[in-house]
């Protein structure tokens, strides 16, 4: 009876998943279709195909609305933030998973608890801190905040992954005279590549789409990230009603990270399943 119930729940879950995927594909398709119309065609019929493809909508969003500078701001912030997250999290996770020391358990628990703290709860304290050290309205300040707030989740994932790595290789390297730093950088870190790729992808997707912190800590137009720049573009629609260019901007912000995610999606599954071995 239990097997039958599980089979029913599994089928219902698969049906829901297929419906959800079809809905997402439908929404993406509609956004792309809307971005290639004129404003008149958009309001005359949501479903009608455009009489001709309006590629100039992308030019308007990319150049005239300055999304190009916001795009490169986002690329810079995400790349530096993800590198910083991995460089800090990997050694911390390695130590927490492979060594015993006083305070290890409370420290591990504190990282786990940190995952559940919403950004809204620390928004004002972080703002006051950035203001005090002069990092408000700077990409550097935003990067520091991104790194700090991403550490709990990343360390949690990598700790579980490092725990699955065999002790024998580490012990063999130590017997051959390798120092602890050499063991970590040249032996254990390459073995943890699937886990590192997983956290890199997940953090990159999250930070690319992040809006709240970027909007709260940056109020200078030339420092906006892509999500905030698109929001500013949306606000300008109140005056010129160029909605098709707004949809083109949505495509610009969605598809680079969507392609990146789909390209490396198998690595995410590999890393997550490997990290759940213990």
For residue 30, tell me if it sits in a domain.
no
For residue 29, tell me if it sits in a domain.
no
pLDDT at 148: 93
| % of the chain exceeding 70 in pLDDT | 91
Question: How many domains would you assign to the chain?
Answer: 1
For residue 32, tell me if it sits in a domain.
no
For residue 48, tell me if it sits in a domain.
no
**Separation of CA 44 from chain center:** 37
For residue 209, tell me if it sits in a domain.
yes
pLDDT-based confidence at 268, cuts 50/70/90?
low
pLDDT at 86: 94
Q: 3-state DSSP call for residue 116?
A: coil
For residue 4, tell me if it sits in a domain.
no
Please state, as a whole number, how many other Cβ atoms lie within 10 Å of the Cβ of residue 100.
Answer: 6
Instruction: State the Cα–Cα distance between residues 53 and 128, nearest whole angstrom.
Output: 48
CATH number assigned to the domain comprising residue 263: 1.10.3720.10
For residue 127, tell me if it sits in a domain.
yes
The parent domain of residue 232 ranges over 58-274
Instruction: State the Cα–Cα distance between residues 156 and 52, nearest whole angstrom.
Output: 50
pLDDT tens for 134-165 read 999 999 999 999 999 999 999 998 988 888 88
Q: What are phi and psi of 194, to 5 degrees?
A: -60, -40
Instruction: State the Cα–Cα distance between residues 16 and 209, nearest whole angstrom.
Output: 25
Instruction: State the Cα–Cα distance between residues 47 and 119, nearest whole angstrom.
Output: 38
For residue 110, tell me if it sits in a domain.
yes
Instruction: State the Cα–Cα distance between residues 146 and 77, nearest whole angstrom.
Output: 9
């Amino acid at each position: 009876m239990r097997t039958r119930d599980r089979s029913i729940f599994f089928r219902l879950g698969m049906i829901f998943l297929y419906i959800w995927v079809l809905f997402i594909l439908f929404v993406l398709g509609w956004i792309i279709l809307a971005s290639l119309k004129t404003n008149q065609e958009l309001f005359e019929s949501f479903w009608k195909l455009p009489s001709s493809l309006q590629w100039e909508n992308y030019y308007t969003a990319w150049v005239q609305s300055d999304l190009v500078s916001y795009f490169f701001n986002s690329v810079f912030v995400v790349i530096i933030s993800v590198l910083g997250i991995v460089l800090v999290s990997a050694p911390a996770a390695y130590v927490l998973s492979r060594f015993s020391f006083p305070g290890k358990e409370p420290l591990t628990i504190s990282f786990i608890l940190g995952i559940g703290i919403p950004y809204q709860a620390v928004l004002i304290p972080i703002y006051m801190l950035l203001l005090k050290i002069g990092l408000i309205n700077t990409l550097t300040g935003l990067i520091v905040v991104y790194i700090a707030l991403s550490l709990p989740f990343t360390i949690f994932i990598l700790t579980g992954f490092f725990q699955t790595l065999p002790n024998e290789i580490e012990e063999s390297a130590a017997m051959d005279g390798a120092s602890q730093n050499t063991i970590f950088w040249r032996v254990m870190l390459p073995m943890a590549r699937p886990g590192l790729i997983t956290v890199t992808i997940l953090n990159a997707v999250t930070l690319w789409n992040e809006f709240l912190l970027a909007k709260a800590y940056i109020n200078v137009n030339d420092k906006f990230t892509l999500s905030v720049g698109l929001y500013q573009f949306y606000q300008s629609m109140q005056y010129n009603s160029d909605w098709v260019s707004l949809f083109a901007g949505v495509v610009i912000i969605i598809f680079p990270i969507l392609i990146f995610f789909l390209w490396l999606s198998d690595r995410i599954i590999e890393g997550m399943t490997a990290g759940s071995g213990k």
